[in-house]
């Protein structure tokens, strides 16, 4: 069997970095985690991802793979004997990928805005976030078919794609004082969030919420300073 | 065996995203019903099949919708896997194909839009970004006839539709893409020699006319 040398370039606070870490844990694959310092980029990162210069980057036997969800699919395909992350049916795969793209392109950008939006704009952002969660609740009902995860009995692609945002979601709820995931509108997601977060493949790579709140506050302060400074 | 029973494509003729699905279906020899949407008056079917984004293109296979062009192309490749494979079978090469198709998505539509819809510094920056992106793609193509190697692949399908908008970008931006990226234009001409591509792309002057209409409608100078 070929020797597998795995390095993952990442950072503790990044939801995107969590994705390949969960996938590697599911496959019981060992890897070296190389933390990037916030605010600067290592030579290895710039060489491995010259196009975007972003984390995460998985380096497998010297070859880099970039973009978190692309990395997850790669891991699923290479470690094909481990538990499957993507479903086998093409339509189910398309559905999982659709919602993965949705959380990245539509939902998470709103979450990022929550800490800096004010007044009416803030109400709109909260409204959009909750609307999105209701859509995801519906997707959860359809995809889980009564089981614990979007992927059914086991953690799947969308559990990873959406679940990686839970740390920041909880941090945003704490910082804003607004409950986004609640029993009334999204009971399925409330339970799923608990189950997902305590799963052995997830719990050690899920960042501590209070630590994220501290980090989030310092980011928001920097952002405000940059705005008023110009 | 894949069931061809019912394949419908909800589309809009100048959309590069719709063109991707047209090319993929043609490469696989899949018969389908093309339905032109009026985006000012979206059909009930479109709103039903893509309630989240309400956008084209939407591929409908046996009544079930697949939205988002690259997701639909992957779906087509997986269902009709016995003919003209678009994605490579090797996982590393697949990851590279996914990376570059994603790169096209992140860069070209928005930069292209800024080239025709803006002026001055904003337009100049968009032109620069656009050319830089095309040069990176040229680098990835290298000496291969297609991004997919000897045959059309996933990245070819993802990128080629934007070629029908090149004339529009060139006229609005007053520059020559061929002068900057001659190898890419050679690649585009190789793709156009294929029926699946040729029949899926609109006439580039027609696209230019469409852009002028859009400018009028949105009051862009």
| DSSP assignment string, A21-36 | HHHHHHTT---EEEEP
Query: How close A210 gets to chain B, by Cα (Å)?
Result: 33
Q: What percent of chain A shows pLDDT beyond 90? A: 87
What pLDDT shows up at residue B1?
45
Q: What's the complex ipTM?
A: 0.96
A54 close contact with B: CB closer than 8 A = no
Cα separation, A80 vs B141, in Å, equals 29
pLDDT over 80 at A223, yes or no = no
pLDDT over 70 at A92, yes or no = yes
What pLDDT shows up at residue A2?
55
Query: Across-strand partners of B61?
Result: B7, B64
Cβ–Cβ below 8 Å for B71 and A98: yes
Yes or no: say if A160 and A85 are a contact pair by the CB < 8 Å rule: yes
Element (H, E) at A124: helix A119-144
* Closest CB to B92 among A63, A90, A101: A63
What pLDDT shows up at residue A221?
83
pLDDT over 80 at A96, yes or no = yes
A60: which chain B residues are within 8 Å (Cβ-Cβ)?
92
Average pLDDT taken over every residue of chain A: 95
A63 close contact with B: CB closer than 8 A = yes
Yes or no: say if A76 and A17 are a contact pair by the CB < 8 Å rule: no
A16 close contact with B: CB closer than 8 A = no
Cβ–Cβ below 8 Å for A90 and B64: no
DSSP state of A104: I
What pLDDT shows up at residue A116?
83
Yes or no: say if B147 and B103 are a contact pair by the CB < 8 Å rule: no
Burial class for B117, CB neighbours closer than 10 Å (0-12, 13-18, 19+):
middle
- DSSP result, B50-105: -TTT--S-EEEETTEEEESHHHHHHHHHHHTTTSS--S-SSHHHHHHHHHHHHHHH
Cα separation, A135 vs A131, in Å, equals 6
Compare A222 and A160 and report the one with higher pLDDT.
Answer: A160
pLDDT confidence band for A1 (50 / 70 / 90): very low
What residue in A sits closest to B2 (Cα-Cα)?
Answer: A90
Q: Which residue has the tokens 């980090």?
A: A215
What pLDDT shows up at residue A227?
72
**How far, in Å, are B37, B119, B128, B184, B212 from residue B177 at the CA level?**
31, 18, 11, 9, 20
Yes or no: say if A23 and A80 are a contact pair by the CB < 8 Å rule: no
B66: which chain A residues are within 8 Å (Cβ-Cβ)?
91, 94, 98
What pLDDT shows up at residue B4?
52
Compare A82 and B140 and report the one with higher pLDDT.
Answer: B140
pTM: 0.96
Cβ–Cβ below 8 Å for B71 and A97: yes
* Closest CB to A91 among B64, B95, B98: B64
pLDDT confidence band for A224 (50 / 70 / 90): confident
The domains of chain A, with CATH numbers, are 6-79 (3.40.30.10), 90-213 (1.20.1050.10)
pLDDT by residue for chain B (221 residues), tens only, comes to 455 569 999 999 999 999 999 999 999 999 999 999 999 999 999 999 999 999 999 999 999 999 999 999 999 999 999 999 999 999 999 999 999 999 999 999 999 999 999 999 999 999 999 999 999 999 999 999 999 999 999 999 999 999 999 999 999 999 999 999 999 999 999 999 999 999 999 999 999 999 999 999 998 87
What pLDDT shows up at residue A38?
87
What pLDDT shows up at residue A97?
98
Cα separation, B115 vs B128, in Å, equals 10
Query: Across-strand partners of B110?
Result: none
């Amino acid at each position: 069997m070929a020797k597998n040398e795995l390095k993952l370039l990442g950072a503790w606070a990044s939801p995107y970095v969590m994705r390949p870490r969960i996938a590697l844990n599911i496959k019981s694959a060992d890897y070296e985690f190389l933390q990037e310092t916030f605010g600067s980029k290592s030579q290895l990162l710039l060489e491995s991802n010259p196009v975007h210069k972003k984390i995460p980057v998985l380096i497998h036997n010297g070859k880099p793979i970039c973009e978190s969800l692309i990395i997850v699919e790669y891991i699923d395909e290479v470690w094909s004997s481990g538990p499957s992350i993507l479903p086998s049916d093409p339509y189910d795969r398309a559905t999982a990928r659709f919602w993965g793209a949705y959380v990245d392109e539509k939902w998470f950008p709103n979450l990022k805005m929550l800490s800096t939006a004010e007044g009416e704009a803030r109400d709109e952002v909260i409204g959009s976030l909750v609307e999105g969660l209701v859509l995801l609740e519906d997707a959860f009902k359809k995809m889980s078919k009564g089981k614990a995860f979007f992927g059914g009995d086991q953690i799947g692609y969308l559990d990873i794609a959406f679940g990686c945002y839970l740390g920041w979601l909880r941090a945003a709820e704490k910082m804003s004082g607004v409950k986004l995931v609640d029993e009334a509108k999204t009971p399925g997601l409330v339970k799923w969030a608990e189950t997902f977060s305590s799963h052995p493949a997830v719990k050690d790579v899920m960042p501590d919420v209070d630590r994220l709140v501290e980090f989030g506050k310092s980011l928001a302060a920097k952002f405000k300073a940059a705005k008023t400074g110009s | 065996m894949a069931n061809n029973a019912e394949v419908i494509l909800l589309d809009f003729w100048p959309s590069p995203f719709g063109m991707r699905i047209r090319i993929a279906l043609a490469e696989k020899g899949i018969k389908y019903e093309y339905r032109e949407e009026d985006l000012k008056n979206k059909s009930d079917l479109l709103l039903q099949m893509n309630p989240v984004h309400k956008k084209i293109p939407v591929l409908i296979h046996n009544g079930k919708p697949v939205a988002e062009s690259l997701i639909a192309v992957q779906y087509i490749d997986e269902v009709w896997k016995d003919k003209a494979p678009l994605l490579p079978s090797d996982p590393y090469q697949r990851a590279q194909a996914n990376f570059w198709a994603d790169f096209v998505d992140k860069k070209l539509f928005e930069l292209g839009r800024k080239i025709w819809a803006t002026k001055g510094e904003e337009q100049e920056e968009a032109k620069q970004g656009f050319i830089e992106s095309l040069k990176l793609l040229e680098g990835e193509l290298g000496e291969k006839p297609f991004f997919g190697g000897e045959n059309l692949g996933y990245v070819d399908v993802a990128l080629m539709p934007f070629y029908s908008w090149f004339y529009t970008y060139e006229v609005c931006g007053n520059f020559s893409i061929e002068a900057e990226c001659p190898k890419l234009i050679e690649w585009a001409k190789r793709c156009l020699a294929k029926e699946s591509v040729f029949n899926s792309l609109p006439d580039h002057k027609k696209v230019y006319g469409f852009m002028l209409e859009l400018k009028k409608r949105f009051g862009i100078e």
